[in-house]
Amino acid sequence: MTRTIRAAAFALAAATATATATIGLAGAAQAHHSFAMFDPAKVVTLQGRVKEYRWVNPHVALLLDVAAPGNGGGVWAVELTSPGNLTRLGWSRKSLKPGDRVAVEINPLRDGQHGGGFRKLTLLDTGQVLQARLIDIEKNAAAGH
């Protein structure tokens, strides 16, 4: 009888620990993938030069030097998806380099800071378009682009 009680107590403790870890990790994953800081209702196109292109996990980052009059100029931080996702879409760590002239379409940060969530990039010297949103790639394919 004692052995059965101990086994049941151990099983309950293990199940509780597993459930707690699962809930905790799910919350962390959800928080990590939140895009609430970006305004999906607004789209801004920035033109400038690549200052830095960071091919790192969990998200690739692009620092863009924007030469615009007024408050729009300066360095903008653009968050992309993961290197793995970008690789599947044809990107590589060599897709961009410092000094490249680009036009970048973003959903800007809600707080007005110089940053945003990536939508599309055009290399101005070649016209090559790089996208990282599967929904946009599917729309363009359906439209014959």
Q: What is the mean pLDDT of each run of 10 residues along the chain (145 residues)?
A: 59 48 43 76 96 97 89 91 93 97 97 95 96 64 64
Instruction: Check residue 136 and give its pLDDT.
Output: 57
Which residues, at least 6 apart from 12, have a Cβ–Cβ distance to it below 8 Å?
Answer: none
Residue 37 token pair: 């800081």
Instruction: Check residue 68 and give its pLDDT.
Output: 80
Q: Show the domain range for 9.
A: 1-34
Is residue 30 domain-shared with residue 48, that is, in the same domain? no
- Asked if residue 59 is part of any domain, the answer here is yes
Instruction: Check residue 63 and give its pLDDT.
Output: 98
Alpha-carbon distance values, 59 to 14, 69, 115 (Å): 34, 29, 14
Is residue 19 domain-shared with residue 52, that is, in the same domain? no
Is residue 72 domain-shared with residue 136, that is, in the same domain? yes
Specify whether the CB–CB gap between 87 and 18 falls below 8 A: no
Instruction: Check residue 109 and give its pLDDT.
Output: 97
Domain count, the chain: 2
pTM to 2 decimal places: 0.69
